[in-house]
Amino acid sequence: MDNIFFTLLAFIFTIALLVAIHEFGHFWVARKLDVKVLRFSIGFGKPLLRFNGKKDNTEFVIASIPLGGYVKMLDEREGEVAKEEYHREFNQKSVYSRFAIVFAGPFVNFLFAVFAFWLMFIIGIQGVIPIMGQLDHQSLAWESGLRNGDQIISVNGKETPTFTSVYEELLGGFIARKSVDLQLSDQRRLVLHLEKIEKDVEPSQLKEVIGLSVKFPLEKVIIGEVNADSPAFSAGIQAGDQVLAIDEQQIDHWRDLVRSIINKPDKKINIKVLRNEKVIIFSVIIGHFKQGSKTIGRIGVRPKSVTPLPESMFTQHQYGIFSAIPKSIEKTWDLSILTITMLGKIIIGEASIKNISGPITIAEVAGQSAQMGWESFLRFLAIVSLSLGVINLLPIPMLDGGHLLFYLIEMIKGSPVSEMMQEFGVKIGVMLLAMLMSVALYNDFMRLLG
């Protein structure tokens, strides 16, 4: 119950913060351009808290449904406007002023993403050093020339001090289905052919498909518990058995065992164990279960103990106040391009619509990232903020991008788009947004039920 409450709290905080930032962009520019703001609302529905500001008696509202917000400006299309305030009406401003007001919302989302990444880089990025552990000989990683003990120091020329940074850089190549260049600590350069990955593979499966693995410290992998009616129980494996190898692959850490099993649902493997100083080999048919959209293998065993990762496996990568600025701008730019590319792939059918997430998934990730610490939560806030910026710039009526499209047309033709055309665009926009939200919610519920 506590975890659910924390997740809900993190979700509400995230949405409220990012909506407030987005709407503040509209609000601030509108005031600078002398447009009268009637209401600034975070959320929809019944107001929970409201007060009036000194300037223009603007009403500030926090409403009951925290899934959006709006800035209501003086507009003759929504009510009568006094003659003395006619010049402050939104629709009476030049097309360039209206463009600036609308564009300010998404723009501030990008600025906040830069700020969040900047703060994250100053606090410092902690992660596992990308030194390879046991690699599957059938994996793309092995095929590229990577071997046990190799350390990746850059991908396509970009520094990768942690495993997380390695995967972030690989994600761009994966979405574009292009090969990437790896540089290792021993000065070797390798090519990882991501274009060989099948089109129906989702980004969440990238780690398993490529086959990179962490070099874990050596430990005895001893079974602590075997579930009744599990594949391991049926094969004869018992608590106290020490796992030596799976299909001739040496197992030196519990995580090696997990990695050897989760990617092989329903397949037969041979597990070599040590029991009472005797080596025994068991044939096990791996079971399966759904984890989100993925099918995961399992055999029904738990470890006796797992050795914590030593501090020597981690690195703290930190930037100064000024050196973090270009780094944060670069990060925001790269992830924005990645988001646009991913949306394009979904639209043309080269990527699965399963990659679209809704509020339930965002809530789960918000809670998880908040529990993992400031670095993780700042990264999450930055990614969601720039995603909101990108989505709002899509040329869909009802979104900021749809209004900007109309204003661009007005700039070119010298007169506003007809009201009939705008109304038609709004109807199309509502339909597209309803379809998008339906897909997102469907994916959320399928992940939960999966």
From CA 44, how far away is CA 39, in angstroms rounded?
A: 12
- CB atoms < 10 A from the CB of 309, how many? 14
Are the folds of 125-213+309-317 and 221-308 the same?
Answer: yes
Could you tell me the two tokens for 360?
A: 């339930």
From CA 365, how far away is CA 240, in angstroms rounded?
A: 36
Catalytic residues: 23
What is the model's pLDDT at position 396? 83
From CA 244, how far away is CA 409, in angstroms rounded?
A: 69
What is the model's pLDDT at position 303? 86
User: What are the residue ranges of helices labelled H in 189-323?
Assistant: 206-210, 231-235, 254-262
Please give the class, per CATH, of domain 221-308: mainly beta
- Please name the residues in contact with 214: beta carbons below 8 A apart, sequence gap of 6 or more: 128, 131, 132, 133, 163, 255, 313
What is the model's pLDDT at position 295? 76
What is the model's pLDDT at position 250? 83
pLDDT 10s digit of each residue in the chain, 450 long? 556 777 777 777 888 888 899 999 999 999 999 999 999 999 888 888 889 988 888 999 988 887 788 899 888 776 677 777 788 888 889 999 999 999 999 999 999 999 999 999 998 888 888 888 878 788 888 889 898 889 999 998 888 888 888 888 888 888 777 889 999 999 999 999 888 877 666 666 777 788 887 777 777 889 989 898 889 898 999 999 999 988 888 888 887 888 888 878 888 989 999 999 899 999 989 888 766 556 788 888 888 876 677 777 788 878 889 999 999 999 899 888 888 887 777 776 666 666 665 555 555 555 556 566 677 788 888 888 988 898 889 888 878 988 899 899 989 988 888 778 777 777 777 777 667 666 665 555 555 555
The domain spans of the chain are 97-124+320-450, 125-213+309-317, 221-308
| Cα angle value 227/214/274 (rounded, 5°) | 45
**Terminal C-alpha separation, the chain:** 21
Q: Is the pTM of this model over 0.85?
A: no
User: What are the residue ranges of helices labelled H in 246-320?
Assistant: 254-262
User: Strands (DSSP E) along 177-241, which ranges?
Assistant: 180-184, 189-192, 221-226
User: What are the residue ranges of helices labelled H in 52-205?
Assistant: 95-123, 140-144, 163-176
Q: Regarding the domain with residue range 125-213+309-317, which homologous superfamily does it belong to in the CATH classification?
A: PDZ domain (2.30.42.10)
| Cα angle value 444/449/450 (rounded, 5°) | 95
Could you tell me the two tokens for 380?
A: 């999450």
